[in-house]
Amino acid sequence: MAGSGADGSRIVVGISGSLGSLAALHHAVAEARRTDTEVLAVLCWTPPGDELGYRRTPCPPVVTAGRDAAVARLRQALDEAFAGRYAGVRLSCQAVRGDTGHSLVRCADRPGDLLVLGAGRERGRLARLVHPSVTAYCVRHASCPVLAVPRPPLQRDLDALERGHGLRAPAARN
């Protein structure tokens, strides 16, 4: 996977705060321990209304608030992932303004980098057209290997509950 870090390679991991991204972070840290490689945790954000909306009505305080919220979300995700303890690896963090897929590919730009992502949840055809998969984008455009970490079982169970399937209370017996 990733190199020893002597060549400047890193493990870049996309963070959103979701269970899937936390699973990806744990996988990236485990790989970093194995290979003595630095981890770069990246949370991508856009201003409210997305970049197009911001360009139409620029408001610097909105950008500052968006950046501050992204940094707070990144800190919270790291605290949740490691219970406020040292991760045991060289770990740096970055909140990056921009589209998630494009920004992650831009961050994982070194030849020996490894980009680690949560695989995300399965979505219908229309949802994929409206909101393309970040993982699929990164696999198509990254210049380094991309590792998609499967959703943790808890995330699959929560998704099933959200859809109204699975995990139902047993029927009452007479």
Helices 100-107 and 134-141: angle between axes, nearest 10 degrees: 40
Q: What is the pLDDT of residues 19-53, one digit of tens each?
A: 889 999 999 999 999 999 999 999 999 887 666 66
Sign of CA dihedral 1, 22, 94, 16: positive
56 found inside a domain: yes
> Would you state the structure tokens that stand for residue 107, as one six-digit string?
């961050």
Domain CATH number, residue 53: 3.40.50.620
In which residue ranges of the chain is pLDDT below 70? 1-7, 49-57, 120-132, 155-156, 158-159, 165-174
What confidence score (pLDDT) does residue 127 get? 47
Q: Which domain holds residue 112?
A: 10-154
Domain count, the chain: 1
Domain membership of residue 91 (yes or no) is: yes
Q: Answer whether residue 99 is part of any domain.
A: yes
How wide is the angle at C-alpha 149 spanned by C-alphas 8 and 44, nearest 5°?
Answer: 65
6 exposed, middle or buried (CB, 10 Å; 0-12, 13-18, 19+)? Answer: exposed
Whether 136 is in a domain gets the answer: yes
**Is residue 67 one of the residues assigned to a domain?**
yes
Does residue 5 lie in a domain region? no
Distance CA 41, CA 113 (A): 13
